[in-house]
Amino acid sequence: MDSKCKFSLLLSCSILMQRRLFLYNFRNLRKAKGRRETYLCYVVKRRNSATSCSLDFGYLRNQMGCHVEVLFLRYIAAWDLDPGHCYRITWFTSWSPCYDCSQHIASFLRSYPNLTLRIFMARLYFCEDRKAEPEGLRRLHKAGAQIAIMTFKGELCRQGRDDGELRGVGETQERGRRGQCPIEHPVHCTDFFYCWNTFVENREQTFKGWEGLHENSVHLARKLRRILMPLYEVDDLRDAFKILGL
């Protein structure tokens, strides 16, 4: 059995995430002690001129000795993507990639110029000063990946979202039967609502945000923006702060 079939069998048994897993692992705490697993929800689409076709959706989590980002890259590489078509992959991850995974993803994107990747993250992994992870995110961004923090409020959802296919200004998808790709409907939502309605066995319950969700999302988005700033801009800001005595 080839690797694609193995992964397909794995995903067919767990295409929707349990509610408790989503609420625990995607909680965007500033200090998320004990959350050592990374969950990755994904949608794969093929673009045909002005339209697009959903090919697959589901979720993965890291396995012993292998990070979830690498697992997904192996999975999609087994598809033998047609170089004559353009593909768009969207991830929603509980943690941002580590430095090594960022390197793997950047290399993968360079190998597949007909593929675009967007990553929406609930939390930032080890993105403090003197860590390698911020540099990994900068290299990943430079390789063409679109990187953002998962949002909760609609006004944030509209910032930098120019895609009318998957989410646009609050698009969501209604699940079909188990194992089918989602169907799109123009309903106002944000990243957490979208994930709840697309990847979670929610039993038609409405997503309810936890205390601090929006504030933490704004805080993490600002932090990511600072990380992705060109280094010379950061140096200019530091010099300005020194002059002002801040």
Catalytic residues: 69
Specify whether the CB–CB gap between 57 and 43 falls below 8 A: yes
Residue where the block lists tokens 């697009």: 52
Q: Which tokens sit at 3?
A: 């690797």
CA distance 4 to 73: 11
- Whole-angstrom CA distances from 135 to 32, 129, 150, 151 are 21, 10, 20, 23
Between CA 198 and CA 181 the distance in angstroms is 9
Instruction: Give the CA angle between residues 177, 181, 186 to the nearest 5°.
Output: 100
DSSP 210: P
Residue type (1 letter), 238: R
Q: Are 123 and 94 in contact (CB under 8 A)?
A: yes
Tokens representing 95?
Answer: 């943690």
Instruction: Return the DSSP state at 167.
Output: T
**What CA–CA distance (Å, rounded) separates 99 from 115?**
21
